[in-house]
Amino acid sequence: MCGRYTLKTSGKELAEVFQVPDCMELEPRFNVAPTNYMPIVYIDLGQRRMMRASWGLVPFWAKSPHVGSRMINARSETAHQKSAFRTAIRKRRCLVPVDGWYEWKRNGRERQPYRFHRADEKVLGIAGLYEHWVDPEGGEVLDSFTILTTKPNAIAAKTHDRMPVILAATDWDQWLDPTMTDMSKVTQLCLPWMHDDLVVTPVSKDVGNVRNDRPDLIDPVELEPEQGSLF
């Protein structure tokens, strides 16, 4: 599961990395939580675009937008079988820019948060799905997204049995292509990240409070001897 992430990369850099013509003004985020509005990259009229969407997918057929808070993640292996995701995984795939995500490891009664990120802190393209929900009462449109997960690699397995699907830049065009509806090809892209550029950093337990969103949350912390280490 991926329930919190970071995105401190500037809008200008995101536009360059993901090759989109529009540049957003973005505030650095150090503790992104479900229902927050965050940038995603998608295809519109054959061109990559970037828009803000609410984290937590609201299916187009939902009666209420509140269901989105329960749909922040989707299992890549079975998303095409689930009513909430089966249309989006065929027609509305996106990239979710993140430069780190958090997971917690339990040690007795305590839960220690760790941040997964690239050693060079560069942004990652996470596989996602997006939807447009129209309020049946007032006609208001809500854009929302979910993050796809897969089996963990050796590093991620030390804290959780799932990890976000990280896509190589060479796979972005194929992933975003709305004409690619062959689910076997889609799922072939949703593999554990096998590159050795990820590092894991123990961070402050203040991350657990969604109201906290400040730069020092990503600073490494010293663990107590009894907490041990992931490595």
Q: Is 13 a catalytic residue?
A: no
Q: Is 103 a catalytic residue?
A: yes
Give the three-state DSSP class for 167: strand
Q: Is the Cβ–Cβ distance between 101 and 113 less than 8 Å?
A: no
Hunting for tokens 């675009």 — which residue is that? Answer: 49
To which H or E segment does residue 142 belong?
strand 141-150
What are the b/e assignments for 163-198, b being 16+ CB within 10 Å? bbbbbeeeebeebbeeeeeeeeebbebbebbeeeeb
Active-site entry in 94, 103, 131, 190: 103
Residue 165, Ramachandran bin (φ over 0: left; ψ between -120 and 50: alpha; else beta): beta
| Maximal CA-CA distance, the chain | 57
Q: Which distant-in-sequence residues (6+ apart) come within 8 Å of 199 by Cβ?
A: 116, 117, 118, 119
Residue 221: CB atoms within 10 Å: 14
Which residues are catalytically annotated?
2, 103
